[in-house]
Amino acid sequence: MVKKTGGALFSTLNINVSSDTPLYRQLETKLRRLILDGELVAKTRMPATRQLAADLGISRLTVKNVYEQLIAEGFLCAKQGSGTYVEPVQSSELHSGVVARKQRKVSPIAALSPRTVSIGASKATTRLDRVRAFRPGIPALDLFPRRAWLDACSRVLRTSSDDFLGYGPSSGLEDLKQAIAEHVLDHRGIKCSSKQIIITSGAQQAFSLIAITLLEAEDVVWMEDPGHIAIRDSMRLLGINVRSVPIDDEGFSIDDAIRHHPPGSALFTTPSHQHPLGVVMSLQRRLSLLDYASQTGSWIVEDDYDSEFHYTDRALPALQALDNDGRVLYVGSFSKSLFPALRLGYLICPLGLAQSFAAAQTLLSQNVSLLQQKALANFMLDGNFNAHIRKMRVAYRRRRDKLILTLEQHASDLFEQEPCHAGMHLVAWIKASGVSDSEVAECVWATGVDCLPLSIFCDTQRLRPGLILGFACAVDEKIEPYVIRLAEAVRHFLTDQAVS
Ligand SMILES: Cc1ncc(COP(=O)(O)O)c(C=O)c1O
């Protein structure tokens, strides 16, 4: 939804509240542009923050933060008791803006199709490049054993034959597949042969491979709602008919799906730690899903993205380990257990599908870097992978406990916490009613603290507002000061809302 300000001077100012570009960044860029283009001239009095916030339908704190930033950059100045004014801009800067504007080519773009527009509006990229507390989904990059990784990488080039500079096998490197087969047997009770494993460029590529290889355009798939945005939107991008399934206390609500949707060719689920609500799927529900898949011949895509991290009992066995009929496609990732930039994941499939998946991998992207695969195999075979996971389980439990405690100490009036027994993030429900969690998140981001609003994970479900807070990447000493900052930002937002 695009919001415009009133009045001629600011009529070009519109803010897209559905965009994944933060509101403050949109406003800051537009005001800077107006000044550089000479449209907002020196000595122009800026609207009061309350006025501009009301015109744009955004929070006053966002406008205040933008003004402060532009004052710091020298584009505006604040005069006590009088208001905020545009500063004179160096003629060279002004000139570059004007010239740039004149030279800008306006290329006629044919009307965009609804599909193009909806892909462009995907929220999957929201703050994907951030790594600081409390960005969900980012592991403890500060604790990654860089030296051991460097050793594993440099050994590849020092000791490997020229074969490692070629394309390599399309399903992935045998050493790595064997190391993964051992890992999933130990950690998830999965008995598989390396022949069932396809190495992918992260879990995301495994989901695309599954869709392209096994599904037809317009097939119905059932997907958790709230759920992983990138899976949902990538399926829609491929023309697949995504139907939303709510989450109850036991996880994926299969009864609801059967009642409300046409049969699904596949269902996507995160049973070991529902993303993002955190529900661990009960054993009974796991068996119901498997039963349904056996009876109907549909596929279950099991996304086991952060199952290495659980803090109470032993994790329940993976769906794949309980499956007797070859209906489960198990997807694992090293983005959480090691680091996202590695871009390595894997798909474990029934043996009869392995050749098709391997061929699809070659057709779509040739292969995953053989050098990275070999480095990871070295790292795992040296015992460094298991050692890292053991250490991270301790560190994440400590960071989780500290986040829970400090939220309790500094923000118990603002949030109600969902119990968190696994994974790398928790859900903090916002107690105040009628607020937009996206706007709350905007205010939090403006203070340098990260988080994601729960609503961006929702498709058709409307849940209470909440923030998803990742604790794994939060350096221990920063947790308390960041929680204090977060609480201040939310209080500020609520006060602002009450006043306006
Ligand atoms: C639910 C879920 N599944 C899988 C992944 C992993 O994706 P990838 O391996 O492509 O980094 C993520 C990453 O954020 C996720 O949130």
Domain ranges of the chain: 2-104, 131-138+387-499, 145-386
Q: What is the β-pairing status of strands 220-224 and 241-245?
A: parallel
CA of 105 to the centre of ligand 1 (A): 38
The neighbour count for residue 219, using CB atoms within 10 Å, is 19
In order of 194, 256, 446, the CA distances from 176 in angstroms are: 9, 40, 42
303 Cβ closer than 6 Å to some ligand 1 atom: yes
Fold classification of 2-104 (topology level): Arc Repressor Mutant, subunit A (1.10.10)
CA of 308 to the centre of ligand 1 (A): 13
- Give CA–CA dist 457/229, Å, rounded: 6
Element (H, E) at 198: strand 197-200
Q: What is the β-pairing status of strands 83-86 and 76-79?
A: antiparallel
Closest by Cα among 219, 273, 265, 217 to 247: 273
pLDDT attached to residue 1: 45
424 Cβ closer than 6 Å to some ligand 1 atom: no
Testing ligand 1's pocket by substitution, the residue of 273, 307, 335 carrying the most ligand atoms inside 8 A of its CB is 335
Q: What is the β-pairing status of strands 452-453 and 466-470?
A: antiparallel
pLDDT in tens, the chain (500 residues): 444 444 566 766 888 877 778 888 889 888 988 888 888 888 999 999 988 888 888 888 889 989 988 988 888 999 888 889 998 877 555 545 444 554 555 555 678 888 788 888 899 999 999 999 999 999 999 999 999 999 999 999 999 999 999 999 999 999 999 999 999 999 999 999 999 999 999 999 999 999 999 999 889 999 999 999 999 999 999 999 999 999 999 999 999 999 999 999 999 999 999 999 999 999 999 999 999 999 999 999 999 999 999 998 777 889 999 999 999 999 999 999 999 999 999 999 999 999 999 999 999 999 899 999 999 999 999 999 999 999 999 999 999 999 999 999 999 999 999 999 999 999 999 999 999 999 999 999 999 999 999 999 999 999 999 999 999 999 999 999 999 999 999 999 999 888 76
CA of 414 to the centre of ligand 1 (A): 29
Q: Which string of b and e fits 346-364 if b means at least 16 CB within 10 Å?
A: bbbbbeebbeebbebbeee
- What are the structure tokens assigned to 104, written together? 């800008």
- What are the structure tokens assigned to 269, written together? 């689920």
Q: Which ligand 1 atom sits nearest the alpha carbon of residue 276?
A: 1
Q: What is the β-pairing status of strands 197-200 and 466-470?
A: unpaired
- What are the structure tokens assigned to 249, written together? 């206390």
Cβ(177)–Cβ(194) under 8 Å?
Answer: yes
Q: Whose CA is nearest to atom 14 of ligand 1?
A: 137
Phi, psi (rounded to 5 degrees) for 173: -75, 130
307 Cβ closer than 6 Å to some ligand 1 atom: no
Q: What is the β-pairing status of strands 266-269 and 299-303?
A: parallel
- What are the structure tokens assigned to 142, written together? 């500060």
Instruction: For tokens 């952060």, name the residue.
Output: 306
228 Cβ closer than 6 Å to some ligand 1 atom: yes
Fold classification of 131-138+387-499 (topology level): Aspartate Aminotransferase, domain 1 (3.90.1150)
Cβ(28)–Cβ(36) under 8 Å?
Answer: no
Cβ(336)–Cβ(308) under 8 Å?
Answer: yes
pLDDT attached to residue 9: 60
pLDDT attached to residue 92: 58
Closest by Cα among 16, 7, 9, 21 to 55: 7
Testing ligand 1's pocket by substitution, the residue of 273, 336, 450, 473 carrying the most ligand atoms inside 8 A of its CB is 336
- Give CA–CA dist 207/230, Å, rounded: 9
What separation, in Å, do the N-terminal and C-terminal C-alpha atoms of the chain show?
Answer: 21
Q: Whose CA is nearest to atom 7 of ligand 1?
A: 203
Closest by Cα among 381, 364, 124 to 236: 124
Which architecture does CATH list for 145-386?
3-Layer(aba) Sandwich (3.40)
Cβ(145)–Cβ(388) under 8 Å?
Answer: yes
Instruction: For tokens 């803006």, name the residue.
Output: 97
Q: Which ligand 1 atom sits nearest the alpha carbon of residue 205?
A: 10
pLDDT digits (tens, 9 = 90+) for 148-196: 999 999 999 999 999 999 999 999 999 999 999 999 999 999 999 999 9
- Give CA–CA dist 177/128, Å, rounded: 28
Strand runs labelled E in 383-424:
415-417
Rounded to the nearest 10 degrees, what angle do helices 60-72 and 476-499 cross at?
120
